[in-house]
Amino acid sequence: MQETNYPDQPLSDTSRTDQIEVGVVGLGLMGSSIVVSLLLAGHTVKAIAPLPIDSETAPNRIRDQLALCQAFDLLNASTEHYFSKLTISQDYRELRDCQFVLECVIEDADIKKQVYQSIESVVNANTVIATNTSAIPISTLQQFLTNPERFLGVHWAEPAYATRFLEIICGEETATVYAEWLYSLAHQWKKEPTWLKKDSREIITNRLMYAVYRETSALIENGETSMENIDKALRYDAGSWITLMGIFRRMDFMGLENQLETFNTIFPTLSNTEKVPEIMQKMVDIQARGTHNAKGLYPYTEEESIKWDKAFAQFNRDIYRLAEEYPLDKIEN
Amino acid sequence: MQETNYPDQPLSDTSRTDQIEVGVVGLGLMGSSIVVSLLLAGHTVKAIAPLPIDSETAPNRIRDQLALCQAFDLLNASTEHYFSKLTISQDYRELRDCQFVLECVIEDADIKKQVYQSIESVVNANTVIATNTSAIPISTLQQFLTNPERFLGVHWAEPAYATRFLEIICGEETATVYAEWLYSLAHQWKKEPTWLKKDSREIITNRLMYAVYRETSALIENGETSMENIDKALRYDAGSWITLMGIFRRMDFMGLENQLETFNTIFPTLSNTEKVPEIMQKMVDIQARGTHNAKGLYPYTEEESIKWDKAFAQFNRDIYRLAEEYPLDKIEN
């Protein structure tokens, strides 16, 4: 990260989200959900829909999500109030006063390049520009900008308006001041942001989950246990502490005295396979898309697929609220 | 698993826990917490305290835990009602009518052998005898019994009375009928039991978490992220779905179409190290015991250590209840 090219004028106070206009380019599923998150945070949102189909479908999708937020008691005002602070357009000039613009278009470097040029042609020199990519390195995309130091990556978790996860990723040329500003702003979005020092394409937790998949593949293939058992054990064991503690705090809580021995014993026995589990090839062969086409690792009826969508939305609301009750200073002595 | 030596008389109906006496040998921290779980399930519990110190400390510990359960609204009757169904003794003859006896003594094979002989000398031939060990293979301990086919392992998660996790592990000589009976009985304890087909010392989720530790060590040591960031990301990302779905259901929910490619890309890049992270050696050197002596991976004041105990107890109650709301058939269409 270079420390040059600092903004001429100081970046704005992040606590006044009502005075900070933000932009979102790309209104697919993720883009829409992020728009809702930014509206809830109090921003005026300028959305650019480069695809005509998104201009048609996005307004209803966003209204539906706002209605869901209302049902879940996440709003401080009417859905109309929030919706009135959103402009959807195909004209990039709408972004001219935005202090933050997020690109959420498809994973195609050429298209993204055009988008960045369109954004930079209208915004101020110190507007923070970010990408939602999980496929292309930030340092690569950064090359497409005239002012690359204000460019960075932001990973969200779905649904963006009811999850606290947010990952900020700097590229090689990102100036710290912009990441700091976004890190601060993200707290106004009620996120618990993390800040990755190295340019990382994968969401860190995705990577950790693949370490789990690798180990489970070994356990399942040698007949030690089943997919169902692993899901049950993770739900009721890991689930009973992970939202409160993460894994390192958990280790402190369980006591550290035997950990050295346990690491020494278990590490050499963990799976190192590069072989993809057979079941994944099978899923591709049958064109399984999980709950989305009622064909997956588990069996689904169409009715059950719909129920899983609802269950996830509800669970997200519940765990989002539950997490809010557990900063340590809220626990009474 | 052999299928011989089936019980002469059928094992009892598991739905009438009030008619099933159960025994627990060893009243340390885990043993006490398991006693509370079994009392809550409606059993008459015969506890054997081989150590005189446990006879002194266990009654108050169990009363305190029952009071906590009452505060958490987990009881259907007074704490005294539950406590009155518990007998603490040093005399193994108290176990004579028990249909299930769990051994929770220290991880010493010779001591465990004596305990099993004492139990078998008083109980019926078809009483299920189990161990809470996570250090000695079930198949090894099984050799110490006259009727090894009714012996198996049971892993609990702390606190046993407010977690749904339960792992049943068969040894080589365990007869399926006994594991089936315990699996059924565990549902009466409001557990979501898993049944491991192979003799496994480690709790499966522990093993999976060590796969995560291995990967995080690599990410932290090469400067990609920090312990704090990983805990945050796991709390707010994995935490937002793990209790609802586990990892395989989650994969179905996210859609499977790109998984083959992702597995192929990520597996070869995951850490294969056997090297224990330096921080763990450091923790041993400073005799860190985490929240237990206010010295750990994170800094703690004594006050904070106490708060973490409280936060965990409360969170457990909350997530225990939350999980109860999410069987799929409770989700409305």
Name which residue leads in pLDDT, B15 or B6: B15
Whole-structure pTM value: 0.89
Task: Scan residues 219-238 of B and list those with Cβ closer than 8 Å to A.
Answer: 219, 222-225, 227, 229-238
Tell me the CA end-to-end span of chain A in Å, nearest whole number.
43
Out of B208, B224, B328, name the one closest to residue A304 (CB): B328
Most A CBs within 10 Å, among B161, B321, B331, to test the A interface? B331
Contact by Cβ (8 Å): A32, A203: no
Q: Residue A174: which of A131, A204, A238, A207 has the closest Cα?
A: A131
Average pLDDT score over residue span B124-151: 95
- Per residue in B261-283, pLDDT (tens digit) is 889 989 999 999 999 888 888 99
Is the pLDDT confidence value at B218 over 70?
yes
- Per residue in A41-81, pLDDT (tens digit) is 999 999 999 988 889 999 999 999 999 999 989 999 999 99
Most A CBs within 10 Å, among B252, B272, B282, B301, to test the A interface? B252
Name which residue leads in pLDDT, B306 or A43: A43
Q: Each residue of A56-79: b (16+ CB within 10 Å) or e? A: ebbbebbbebbebbeebebbeeeb
Would an 8 Å CB–CB cutoff place A289 in contact with chain B?
yes
Taken as a whole, chain A contains a residue count of 333
Out of B233, B291, B319, name the one closest to residue A204 (CB): B233
Average pLDDT score over residue span B293-306: 92
DSSP string, B149-202: GGEEEEEE-SSGGG--EEEEEE-TT--HHHHHHHHHHHHHTT-EEEEESS--SS
Q: What is this model's ipTM?
A: 0.90
Q: Residue A137: which of A126, A124, A148 has the closest Cα?
A: A148
Tell me the CA end-to-end span of chain B in Å, nearest whole number.
43
pLDDT, position A151:
97
Would an 8 Å CB–CB cutoff place B107 in contact with chain A?
no
Q: Do B246 and A231 touch (CB under 8 A)?
A: yes
pLDDT, position B118:
98
Residues of B in contact with A237 (CB under 8 A): 157, 163, 165, 203, 205
Contact by Cβ (8 Å): A128, A101: yes
Would an 8 Å CB–CB cutoff place B280 in contact with chain A?
yes
Is the pLDDT confidence value at B333 over 60?
no
C-alpha torsion A133→A138→A144→A149, nearest 10: 130
Could you identify the residue written with the tokens 């399926």?
B176
What distance in Å separates the CA atoms of residue B153 and residue B167, rounded to the nearest whole number? 8
Contacts of A327 (CB under 8 A, 6+ apart): none
pLDDT, position B185:
97
pLDDT, position A2:
45
The per-residue pLDDT of chain B, averaged, comes to 92
Confidence tier at B135 by pLDDT (50, 70, 90):
confident
Out of B194, B251, B333, name the one closest to residue A303 (CB): B333
pLDDT, position B139:
95
Among A6-15, A182-191, B43-52, B250-259, which stretch is predicted with the lowest mean pLDDT?
A6-15
CA–CA–CA angle A175, A176, A178 (5° rounding): 80
DSSP string, B85-101: TEEEES-GGGGGG-SEE
pLDDT, position B332:
65
Most B CBs within 10 Å, among A37, A235, A272, A301, to test the B interface? A235
Task: Scan residues 154-183 of B and list those with Cβ closer than 8 Å to A.
Answer: 157, 163-165, 167
Smallest CA–CA separation between A121 and chain B, in Å? 33
Domains of chain B: 17-196 (3.40.50.720), 206-330 (1.10.1040.10)
CB atoms within 10 A of CB B203: 20
Is the pLDDT confidence value at B286 over 70?
yes
Task: Scan residues 257-276 of A and list those with Cβ closer than 8 Å to B.
Answer: 257, 259-260, 262-264, 266-268, 270-276
Would an 8 Å CB–CB cutoff place A284 in contact with chain B?
yes
pLDDT, position A98:
98
Q: Residue A107: which of A17, A26, A188 has the closest Cα?
A: A26
Q: Which residues pair with B128 in a beta bridge?
A: B100
Confidence tier at B160 by pLDDT (50, 70, 90):
very high
Name which residue leads in pLDDT, A128 or B329: A128
Instruction: DSSP letter for B295, please.
Output: B
- Per residue in A147-178, pLDDT (tens digit) is 999 999 999 998 999 999 999 999 999 999 99
What distance in Å separates the CA atoms of residue A161 and residue A164, rounded to the nearest whole number? 8
Q: Do B243 and A239 touch (CB under 8 A)?
A: yes
CB atoms within 10 A of CB B71: 12
Segments of chain A scoring below 50 in pLDDT: 1-3
Confidence tier at B40 by pLDDT (50, 70, 90):
very high
What distance in Å separates the CA atoms of residue B96 and residue A229, rounded to the nearest whole number? 34
- Using CB atoms within 10 A of its CB, is residue B70 exposed (0-12), middle (13-18) or buried (19+)? middle
Q: Do B280 and A257 touch (CB under 8 A)?
A: no
What's chain A's Rg over C-alpha atoms?
22
Would an 8 Å CB–CB cutoff place B72 in contact with chain A?
no
pLDDT, position B329:
73
Confidence tier at B180 by pLDDT (50, 70, 90):
very high
pLDDT, position B134:
85
Residue of B nearest to A167 (CA): B233
Single-letter code of the amino acid located at A317: R
What distance in Å separates the CA atoms of residue A239 and residue B319, rounded to the nearest whole number? 8
pLDDT, position A3:
46
Would an 8 Å CB–CB cutoff place B294 in contact with chain A?
no
Could you identify the residue written with the tokens 């000398």?
B121
For the record, the structure tokens of A307 come out as 């129920």
Q: Do A240 and B273 touch (CB under 8 A)?
A: no
